[in-house]
Amino acid sequence: MYAPAGVKTSTEFQIPDTMKAWILGDPGELTLKDKPVPVPKRAEVLVRIDAAAICATDLEVIYQGPPAMIQGGMPFNKNFTPGHEYMGTVVALGPGVDEYKVGQRVAVEIHAGCGQCKRCREGMYTSCHNYGLNYGDVDKGHRANGFTTDGGFCEYQVNNINTLVAIADEMSDEEGALVVTAGTAMYALTELGGLVAGESVVVSGAGPIGLMAVAVAKALGAQPVILTEMRDNRLKIGLELGADAVVNIRKEPDVVAAVKKLNGGKGVDYVVECSAASKAVNDAVHMVNRGGKVCLAAFAHEQVPVDVAHIVSNNITLYGIRGEGKSAVHRAEVFMRQKRFDASKIHTHTFPLADLPTAIRYAKDRVDDAIKVVVKAKLDAAHKVAAE
């Protein structure tokens, strides 16, 4: 039975020596295998993964490789386990860890910087210069779950204490798995200035991060919050999460003019671009007013044409964000704990961990209008449980 030297465990949790984990072989090829349960080192804990959400970036990693980087290259055929949005229960403490207790429920932030490079020392741990240099036993300190180290499509995973966010006991496992999604939206608004009360905000794209950006912006007091998207069902959820107005870009030939009309004929203060559409960035810089700010929160799949002269002549600022930096997940969890918004509105389906390929198909092909799909190692009911 699991009993590594220097690691604190409890009889309350019987930890096996091996666990079930999904392994990425060739692109799109996932196999459920046995893997050793990892051992937490200094400043780390072992988390029993209770729920893991599927992100569009997981699909990119599984089928394309980037932005994952394992041993200096693509993640394929390296015994790598993907998955980066998860929550669980602390079941073992590494040497010297007293910041968390065995049995504590936590959401897990993706990134832990090395703590020693220039960016980490500036607090920009999602831009760690040691990104991708520590897979396996190489101890550079940096971790990015499901990108540069093994992720959460398994039963147990080690995590640095800096990545842990305690969650309320009344929060469901599925909701807990969405804390990181909300944290990414919070990070976008943090980079745009943080204090957005009374400011006008457009969110472009109603995927999970876009919908959470609507909820977080409204919770922060933005007015108006305008959501642009091409699917009416997503726009409806955006309204439920607090959007003051929505624009269906399939039905509106000039989305920039439509946004300005909704904002009293003028540009908005901020745009959070979450769609990755090739035209969306240029639309965003024309939606903001002079001196406005645009945050790019989506991975574009091709080079994007942008009107640079317009950006320069109007003092427009563009920010790129990766994930959920500057402790934004902690702030998002507090909002969720205080019921400032209902993140569960974007959760649509739950599957057993053993049925991950089906869960991925639902997320990838948007089966049954899937938005956020969650997998759990232990389910009490049916093979598939749809969110109410």
Q: What is the pLDDT of residues 193-216, one digit of tens each?
A: 888 999 999 999 999 999 999 999
Query: Are both 28 and 156 inside the same structural domain?
Result: yes
CB contact at 8 A, 262 and 248: no
CB contact at 8 A, 204 and 275: yes
Strand 85-93 with 105-108, pairing? antiparallel
**Which of 320, 353, 371 represents a domain boundary (last residue)?**
320
- pLDDT at 380 exceeding the cut of 60: no
Which of the two residues, 124 and 154, has the higher pLDDT score?
154
Query: Are both 307 and 334 inside the same structural domain?
Result: no
Query: Are both 41 and 110 inside the same structural domain?
Result: yes
Query: Are both 188 and 176 inside the same structural domain?
Result: no
Half-sphere exposure at residue 144, Cβ-oriented, CA atoms within 13 angstroms: 24
We report the CATH number of the domain holding residue 219 as: 3.40.50.720
Amino acid in the structure at residue 340? R
- The answer as to whether 24 is a domain residue is yes
- The answer as to whether 7 is a domain residue is no
Amino acid in the structure at residue 328? A
Query: Are both 172 and 190 inside the same structural domain?
Result: no
- pLDDT at 15 exceeding the cut of 60: yes
- Alpha carbon distance 285, 268 (integer Å): 10
Q: Which residues contact 339 (CB under 8 A, 6 or more apart)?
A: none
Query: Are both 285 and 166 inside the same structural domain?
Result: no
Query: Are both 174 and 32 inside the same structural domain?
Result: yes
pTM of the model: 0.93
CA atoms 124, 98, 168, 148: torsion sign: positive
- Alpha carbon distance 71, 130 (integer Å): 12
- The answer as to whether 215 is a domain residue is yes
- The answer as to whether 1 is a domain residue is no
| 47-64 confidence digits (pLDDT tens) | 999 999 999 999 999 999
Q: What is the DSSP letter of 207?
A: S
**Which of 289, 320, 351 represents a domain boundary (last residue)?**
320
Res 99: pLDDT: 97
Q: Which residues contact 246 (CB under 8 A, 6 or more apart)?
A: 226, 227, 228, 229, 235, 238, 239
Q: What percent of the chain has a predicted confidence (pLDDT) above 90?
A: 86
Average predicted confidence (pLDDT) for the chain: 93
Query: Are both 159 and 208 inside the same structural domain?
Result: no
Amino acid in the structure at residue 18? T
CB contact at 8 A, 218 and 243: yes
Query: Are both 340 and 195 inside the same structural domain?
Result: no
Q: Which of 142-146, 149-153, 292-296, 362-366 has the lowest mean pLDDT?
A: 142-146
CB contact at 8 A, 131 and 144: yes
We report the CATH number of the domain holding residue 102 as: 3.90.180.10
- The answer as to whether 30 is a domain residue is yes
Query: Are both 242 and 338 inside the same structural domain?
Result: no
- The answer as to whether 131 is a domain residue is yes
Burial group, residue 231, by CB count within 10 angstroms (0-12, 13-18, 19+): middle
Q: What percent of the chain has a predicted confidence (pLDDT) above 70?
A: 97
Res 192: pLDDT: 87
What confidence category does residue 383 fall into, taking pLDDT thresholds of 50, 70 and 90?
very low
| 72-89 confidence digits (pLDDT tens) | 899 999 999 999 999 999
- The answer as to whether 81 is a domain residue is yes
Query: Are both 163 and 38 inside the same structural domain?
Result: yes
Q: Structural domain of residue 128, as residue ranges?
A: 18-180+327-386
What average pLDDT does range 318-333 have in this prediction?
Answer: 91
**Which of 320, 340, 357 represents a domain boundary (last residue)?**
320
- The answer as to whether 121 is a domain residue is yes
Cross-strand bridge partners of residue 23: 31
- Count the domains in the chain: 2
What confidence category does residue 387 fall into, taking pLDDT thresholds of 50, 70 and 90?
very low
Query: Are both 95 and 157 inside the same structural domain?
Result: yes
